[in-house]
Amino acid sequence: MRSNVPITRLGKFFGDRDFELEIGLGQEWLIGDMNFTCVLYKIDRNKIKTDDVYGEVIEDGIKFLPPVEFNAQITVAAPENKMIGTTKMDQFEPGNITISVYLKTLEDLGIDIDFGDYVGYYDSENFVRYYTVVNDGRVVSDTKHTYKGFKPFFKTIIAAPVGPNEFRGI
């Protein structure tokens, strides 16, 4: 049975109502002012078509639940000019995307983001780049992800770009 223990840290000058107020203000800024959005393509792990031996997805075998748009703070890393291994073939690879999202946003939308899910982020009106989640930020116990140590309030998700042969969205 899950127990509910009140958090009394910082109790003299900070409490649940303050926490909710701060989160509300932050969401107002992030959603109302910034309005950065991503689309989550959550993998349907029951319908996905995979290889029996390796569990790798076969061509066009990725099945996902209905896409959900959500607001988050987005940071796209600079592209990296590097060689593929030691093949002397240089690639100008796009950088990872770092998504910082309020836990309350995810809760309100009824979604969660896991390893392997895909995220679409529109670079422009007619081009969306897809990323696969390589770090779903499921552990939010660190102080950085708490509000002044009071309670966790957001998670940081890191996703790496994928090519069209792996995922092409809808």
Partner 1 sequence: MAIPKSHPVKPSIPLKYPKTLLPRREEIKDMITKDGTYLPKSLLHADLDKGFLEFVKEKFKIVSEGKNIPVVDIIITTQNWSQFVETWDFQNIDKNIEPPFLTIIRNPEVKYGNNPAVMYNIPNRRMYYYMEVPTWDGNRKGADIYKIPQPVPADFRYSVAIVCNRMREVNTLNQRVLETFASRQAYQVINGHYIPIINDGFTDESSMDLEKRKYYIQKYDFTMMGFLIDENEFEVFPAISRTFQVFEVDTKTPKRKQKRQQPTEPEKIIFDYPNSATTKQLHFDYTCNLYFEDSVNVTSYSVYINTNYYGDDVTTIQVNTGDDIRIDIVIGIYNTEPKLTFSQKLL
Write each residue from 126 to 155 as x if it is in contact with partner 1 (CB under 8 A), else as -, in one continuous string: -x------xx--------------------
Cα separation, 102 vs 27, in Å, equals: 8
Question: Should residue 110 be labelled a site residue for partner 1 when binding is judged by CB under 8 A?
Answer: no
Using CB atoms within 10 Å of the CB of residue 58, give its burial: 0 to 12 exposed, 13 to 18 middle, 19+ buried.
exposed
Q: CB of 91 within 8 A of CB of 56?
A: no
**Contacting partner 1 within 5-44 (CB under 8 A):** none
User: SS in 3 state form for 94-120?
Assistant: CCCEEEEEEHHHHHHHCCCCCCCCEEE
User: Of these, 68, 76, 103, 158, which contacts partner 1 (CB under 8 A)?
Assistant: 158
Q: CB of 147 within 8 A of CB of 153?
A: yes
- To partner 1, the closest distance from the beta carbon of 9 in angstroms equals 32
Total residues in contact with partner 1, by rule CB under 8 A: 28
Cα separation, 161 vs 91, in Å, equals: 13
Collapsing DSSP states into helix, strand and coil, what is residue 131? strand
Question: Should residue 86 be labelled a site residue for partner 1 when binding is judged by CB under 8 A?
Answer: yes
Q: Could you tell me which stretch among 19-27, 35-43, 51-59, 138-146 binds partner 1 (CB under 8 A)? A: 51-59
Question: Should residue 52 be labelled a site residue for partner 1 when binding is judged by CB under 8 A?
Answer: no
Where on the phi/psi map is residue 43: left (φ > 0), alpha (ψ -120 to 50), or beta? beta
Write each residue from 66 to 85 as x if it is in contact with partner 1 (CB under 8 A), else as -, in one continuous string: ------------------xx
Nearer residue to partner 1 within complex by CB, 71 or 156: 156
Question: Should residue 160 be labelled a site residue for partner 1 when binding is judged by CB under 8 A?
Answer: yes
Q: Could you list the residues that contact partner 1 (CB under 8 A)?
A: 51, 54, 56, 58-59, 84-94, 96, 127, 134-135, 158, 160-166
